Structure formats: structure tokens, C-alpha cells
Amino acid sequence: MKKQIFGFLAVVIALGASAFTAPRHAVKHQTAVYYWYKVNAANQIPSGSEAYSGDQVTPDDAETMLPCVSGTHLDCVRGFTNQITTFPSSAPGDTPALKKN
């Protein structure tokens, strides 16, 4: 046990550090969560599309993690409150789409 003291110390420091640097989600501008789908050049969600993260994600988080921004050009991804099942889809989504710049 004495031999592993540095190792265990490293584990404790790592756990402590990750707890302190974890992002806090308590304050969010938009707390609603959506499933996000990529839109193709024809302005449609193509056949066989899967929700981006497989989980519901807030618009703020989506903007951080997806390759799209709140721009003014073509739709990049659209967010839905439920996973969509019919493809291809032109549905506008349940939240303003993130745009391509």
C-alpha cells in the first residue's frame, strides 16, 4: 500500500481537479432540450439521419458542440423536441435552426 501512495495521491488530485473544473450548467439562457439533425444542400434532413448526439441537447450546448452557428445563411442543423422518424424531412424544427455561415 505504501508503494502506491503517489498513485493514489494522483487519483485524488485528478478527481478533485475534475470536480472543480467541470462546467456548471445551473445558469442557462435556454433550458429547453432538443434533438438536432443535419440539413443537406436541398434544405432537407436526408434519409437515414440520426440525431446528432443521440440525446436531447440545449440550443446553447448545440451551438458549442456542432459545426454551425446562429448565422443568417442556410440551415445547418434543426432541433426537434422528439426524435423524427419520417425521412427525408423538410420540417422546420421546434427551435430556431443553427445556420451555416
Q: Which of residues 7-26 bind another protein (CB under 8 A)?
A: 7-11, 13-15, 17-19, 21-23
Q: Out of 29, 32, 59, 61, which residue is the one contacting another protein (CB under 8 A)?
A: 61
4: DSSP letter: G
2: DSSP letter: G
48: left (phi over 0), alpha (psi -120 to 50) or beta: left
Asked if 47 interacts with another protein (CB under 8 A), we say no
CA angle 74, 45, 75 (to 5 degrees): 15
Asked if 91 interacts with another protein (CB under 8 A), we say no
> Which positions touch another protein (CB under 8 A)?
3-4, 6-11, 13-15, 17-19, 21-23, 50, 52-55, 57, 61-62, 64-67
